[in-house]
């Protein structure tokens, strides 16, 4: 099992779904974990309680990851209250499904600001603290299987997620001299609130599963276990990589 004892992690978009699963897995492996989301403080506090029940410290830090001032305040609070930051998991994201000809400029802006700009801002702010403290660290970006495929209604979401792969590689190159590794997980169909519309649709679900080699949806914990490995010293020679955890969605 990865050993994260003594580490402080921040997971964005962590009040539910993949973010929550990652936060709990990091805590199980010894990390103190800050729980971020843009809203839903009551849900986030429940995740904090789950982390504390595992014997780790935890706080809620509400912030919009697309707003520079809020990101700076969030990172500063994590460092001040938990004693540093060694791990950042950029998980916050939104996925509206809108036909290309109906996407407004405002919707394009909202998707790209959250899913791409947010990961850039959080990574930059966290990396500056890691460099200042001379601790090194690990940054993990959460992308999507749609970075490597085309699907209807994602003409804003998919380009942003493809850009996350490029961001990952470039940050890995520039931050390597400081001992900071940067990787990306691209999840496939995972059973979360965001994918409930697929999982609960008796017509859509079989068509989607037919495109997946393993013929099933994944669980958030299956993303979390990969995340815990990638941010740990067991992955000390892995950086700049985008790993698809998708049950073979792209190979059919």
Q: Quick check: 215 and 156 in contact, CB under 8 A?
A: no
Nearest to 6 by CA among 60, 57, 61: 57
pLDDT confidence bin for 2, thresholds 50/70/90: confident
Catalytic member of 13, 64, 93, 157: 157
Model pLDDT for residues 63-103, shown as the tens digit of each residue: 999 999 999 999 999 999 999 999 999 999 999 999 999 99
**Would residue 54 count as lying in a domain?**
yes
pLDDT confidence bin for 148, thresholds 50/70/90: confident
Q: How many domains does the chain divide into? A: 1
Q: Give dist(CA 178, CA 189) in Å, integer.
A: 35
**Would residue 201 count as lying in a domain?**
yes
According to the model, what pLDDT value does residue 252 have? 78
Q: State the burial class of residue 13 (Cβ atoms within 10 Å of its Cβ: 0-12, 13-18, 19+).
A: buried
Q: Is the pLDDT reported for residue 1 higher than 80?
A: no
Q: Which domain holds residue 114?
A: 8-251
Q: What angle do CA 242, 130, 55 make, to 5 degrees?
A: 85
Model pLDDT for residues 150-196, shown as the tens digit of each residue: 889 999 999 999 999 999 999 999 999 999 999 999 999 999 998 99
Question: What CATH number is attached to the domain comprising 203?
Answer: 3.40.50.720
244 annotated active-site: no
**Average pLDDT value over all residues in the chain:** 97
Q: Quick check: 213 and 251 in contact, CB under 8 A?
A: yes
Lookup: tokens for 25: 């897995």
Q: What is the pTM for the complete model shown? A: 0.96
Q: Is the pLDDT reported for residue 109 higher than 80?
A: yes
**Would residue 2 count as lying in a domain?**
no
According to the model, what pLDDT value does residue 89 have? 98
């Amino acid at each position: 099992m990865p050993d994260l004892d003594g580490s402080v992690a921040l997971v964005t978009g962590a009040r539910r779904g993949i973010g929550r699963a990652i936060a709990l897995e990091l805590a199980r492996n010894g990390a103190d974990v800050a729980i971020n989301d843009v809203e839903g403080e009551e849900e986030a506090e429940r995740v904090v309680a789950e982390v504390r029940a595992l014997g780790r410290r935890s706080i809620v830090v509400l912030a919009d990851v697309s707003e520079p001032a809020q990101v700076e305040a969030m990172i500063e609070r994590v460092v001040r209250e938990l004693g540093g930051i060694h791990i950042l998991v950029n998980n916050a994201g939104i996925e509206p499904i809108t036909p290309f000809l109906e996407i407004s400029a405002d919707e394009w802006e909202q998707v790209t600001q959250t899913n791409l700009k947010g990961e850039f801002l959080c990574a930059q702010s966290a990396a500056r603290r890691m460099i200042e403290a001379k601790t090194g660290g690990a940054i993990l970006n959460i992308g999507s299987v749609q970075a490597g495929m085309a699907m209807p209604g994602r003409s804003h979401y998919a380009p942003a997620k493809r850009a996350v792969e490029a961001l990952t590689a470039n940050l890995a190159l520039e931050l390597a001299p400081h001992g900071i590794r940067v990787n990306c997980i691209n999840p496939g169909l995972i059973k979360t609130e965001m994918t409930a519309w697929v999982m609960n649709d008796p017509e859509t679900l079989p068509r989607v599963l037919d495109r997946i080699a393993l013929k099933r949806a994944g669980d958030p914990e299956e993303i979390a276990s990969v995340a815990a490995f990638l941010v740990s010293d067991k992955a000390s020679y892995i950086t700049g990589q985008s790993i698809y955890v998708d049950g073979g969605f792209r190979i059919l």
